[in-house]
Amino acid sequence: MPIRTGVGLAMLLWAVGPTATAGEDGQSWWVEVLSEQNTLLAQARLPESNEWCLLWNHSVQGFPVADCFRVTEGQLFLDSSHTPDFAAGLGYIEGRGRLESDQNHGYRIEDMNVPIAGNVLPLRVGSNAVRHRVQLGDDTLELSDIAAHRRVDLRITQKRSEGTQHP
C-alpha cells in the first residue's frame, strides 16, 4: 500500500494497492478525506466490492465500534453497525435495520440501508486513543494520524483509475 507525503497533511496521499480494480468504464469509487477548507488530506480507492467500514474505539468505554458502508448505483449507504455494548450514543432505532447478536455478547445491526446525503459523511476525528480509521478490505487509512480533533468530510466519488490520484 503506497503512501506519499508532501508538505504538510494536505499533501498526504494514500492509495490502495492491487486489491482494488476499475470497472469496465475505467472508473473506480474512492473515499476522499477533506478538511473543513475542502483540502484533500487523503484518498483511497474502494475495494471491488465497493464496501468499507469506519472503525473507532468508543471514547468513554474504549471498545471497538464499526459502521460499514456500501456504494450501490452511485449512492452511499450505511449498511451495518457493530458494537459490543449500547453505551452512550450507540443503539438501535426501531425500523432501521435488523438487530442481531454477534455471538460474543455484542450487537450487530444489519440491512440498515440508510442513504448518506450527497455521498458525504461528516466526522469529527478523535484522538489516537479513539483511533478513527477507514478499513478497506485488508488496508487501513488511519484518520486519527492525519486529522485528530478536526472536522473532516469523508466523500465518496468516482474517478478514473489510471495512475495515482494527486491532490
Write the pLDDT tens digit of every residue in 100-140: 666 666 677 778 889 999 999 999 999 999 999 999 999 99
Write the pLDDT tens digit of every residue in 27-58: 899 999 999 999 999 999 999 999 999 999 98
On whether residue 59 sits in a domain, the answer given is yes
Give the range of the structural domain holding residue 15, as residue numbers without chain letter: 3-159
On whether residue 136 sits in a domain, the answer given is yes
On whether residue 167 sits in a domain, the answer given is no
On whether residue 165 sits in a domain, the answer given is no
Lowest-pLDDT choice from 22-26, 69-73, 128-132: 22-26
Count of the separate structural domains present in the chain? 1
On whether residue 164 sits in a domain, the answer given is no
Residue 6 near residue 14 (C-beta atoms within 8 A):
no
On whether residue 166 sits in a domain, the answer given is no
On whether residue 71 sits in a domain, the answer given is yes
Q: What is the mean pLDDT of residues 140-148?
A: 97
Per cent of the chain over pLDDT 90 is: 54
Amino acid 4: pLDDT: 29
**DSSP labels for 33-55?**
EE-TT--EEEEEEPPTT-EEEEE
> Within 13 Å and on the Cβ side, how many CA atoms surround 7?
0
